[in-house]
A and B are shown apart, each in its own frame.
Chain A
Amino acid sequence: DGGITQSPKYLFRKEGQNVTLSCEQNLNHDAMYWYRQDPGQGLRLIYYSQIVNDFQKGDIAEGYSVSREKKESFPLTVTSAQKNPTAFYLCASRHRRGTNYGYTFGSGTRLTVV
């Protein structure tokens, strides 16, 4: 079955270390997205990519980096410059059918920095 795979589900890192979150999709979707969720807040957009080798900053891109070397993969690196990295991270992808835009979501990665 097609879908989005995020790994790992839980991740612990020491403060000051970079960490990379994986997001893979086998849906042949062109666009992929990374969101961050904090308690009591809605999901906020970190980065998104509409085609391979291209990506744009979202609303809270500082301290994060991404790459889109393959259509099916959109890894997110949380750098040591991110001041408060502990959060739940969600990856999504989108296909386009006429005027309807369908999104598929991963199951998320909960990052805890200690």
Chain B
Amino acid sequence: KNEVEQSPQNLTAQEGEFITINCSYSVGISALHWLQQHPGGGIVSLFMLSSGKKKHGRLIATINIQEKHSSLHITASHPRDSAVYICAAPTRGGDKLTFGTGTRLAVRP
């Protein structure tokens, strides 16, 4: 069993839909990361959060430390949001990251 699990693995949406990607983790963490990987492979860090909620444009990330669960929401989705979204959790010491396998999102016009 992976220490960081994401769902769904694949997601197809119509432009404008509200999207939710979930991440559950079993490791103890100080903060959780949400990353975006585009088809070319480059990875961009979207959020690092240790509690509550963070918002950036149409992206919202929430985390519940007690339940060891985080969600990434995309409001008014657009085809340019099509990418792989990855959550990653550092170990308690913060020395290493454990990555989920990613959620592949395709937004159709």
Contact = CB atoms under 8 A, between A and B. Distances in A.
Contacts of A101: 30-31, 90, 94
Interface in B17-40: 30-31, 33, 35, 40
Contacts, number: 64
The A contact surface, by secondary structure, is strand
B33 A43 contact: no
Contacts of B98: 42
B7 interface: no
Contacts of B41: 37, 88, 107-108, 110
B95 A31 contact: yes
A58 interface: yes
Given A42-B102, A90-B43, A103 B96 contact: no
Given A42-B4, A42-B100, A99-B30, A105 B95 contact: no
Interface residues of A, number: 29
A34 to B, nearest CB: 12
Contact of B97 (A41, A45, A100, A106): A45
Contacts of B44: 105
A50 B86 CA distance: 24
Contacts of A13: none
A108 B42 contact: yes
Contacts of B30: 99-101
B27 to A, nearest CB: 13
A47 to B, nearest CB: 11
B82 to A, nearest CB: 17
Interface of A: 31, 33, 35, 37, 40-45, 48, 50, 58, 88, 90, 92, 94, 96, 99-108, 110
Given A58-B96, A103-B33, A106-B43, 9 more contacts: A35-B97, A42-B4, A48-B95, A99-B30, A100-B48, A103-B48, A107-B43, A108-B41, A110-B41
